[in-house]
Amino acid sequence: MQASQYYDRLGVITVEAWQNQIAFLSLAGSSASPEDQDIFQKRVDALSRRSSMARALANAYVSIGSLRSSDGLNSVSTAGKNLGAAIGGIPNLPGASAAATAPIGQAAQFLAGLKRGSDAHKALESLSQAGAYQNDLFVHERTAYIAMEVDRDETADRLLRQLAGAKLVNPSALLRFLHLGVPQEAFPDNERIRAMALSASSVALYRKKTAWACATENTAGTLEITATQTKDLATPNSSALNQLDQELAQAKTCMSEYQILDVDK
């Protein structure tokens, strides 16, 4: 799983968190303030910019491998221009402390102005600056990324319990997490079943939290390897490449587990 995919998923989580918050406030007879709405919108925008940066950086790395082809320089130049556009003025993420200014404009300029296919090593050195910035940014904001997912789920859980308590919804579908092999229709709508379903929901929330933390940590691992072992990654069958493959595979596994648990109830 690439960093861009992680940020894309986090963007979806943020939108859903806002929807849950609005529904929760509405149930309580209240409404969200314009300031709160502005914060959520800025968060969505900031995550979208981080996803674009991660995607542009990944494409730039791939372009380096095409330097020996006839159109290789053009591919690298295009990737450099796209990277420059993606990293310009990365906004702060509401809910996290201010991030450092991206000191990687020179890397993008170097790639965009590359004239010789033999400059692959210099291109990789230049990209390592961009990779280091992306890694530092992720590490700096990692706690906020985890908190966003937890906030979304805890608000949804409070909303569910209020609706179930008022008998406005039947939570028995949540019993599917117990893998009993019994269809939802087989459960009667009574207090015991409701209590059991809400308990199953609590277990599912814990599993989701664990899976998201796992995906976050392994995504951080891929970025660290990319940032610190750039040259080794260009060598086939290197230990760095094997490490990266393992981190990517583990991140994908954790995200798959998360998505299974994160389907609509």
Predicted local distance difference test score (pLDDT) of residue 265 = 43
Return the higher-pLDDT residue of 263 and 38. Answer: 38
DSSP character string of 89-140: TPPP-TTSPPPPP---HHHHHHHHT---GGGHHHHHHHHHHHHHHHHHHHHH
Exposure string over 178-212, b if 16+ CB within 10 A, otherwise e: eeeeeeeeebeeeeeebebbbebbeebbeebbebb
Predicted local distance difference test score (pLDDT) of residue 186 = 72
- Summarize pLDDT for 169-196 with one digit per residue, the tens: 878 777 777 776 777 677 777 888 888 8
Q: How confident is the model at residue 97 (pLDDT cuts 50, 70, 90)?
A: confident
Predicted TM-score of the model (pTM)? 0.82
- Mean pLDDT along residues 27-35: 87
97 C-beta neighbours (distance < 10 Å), count: 10
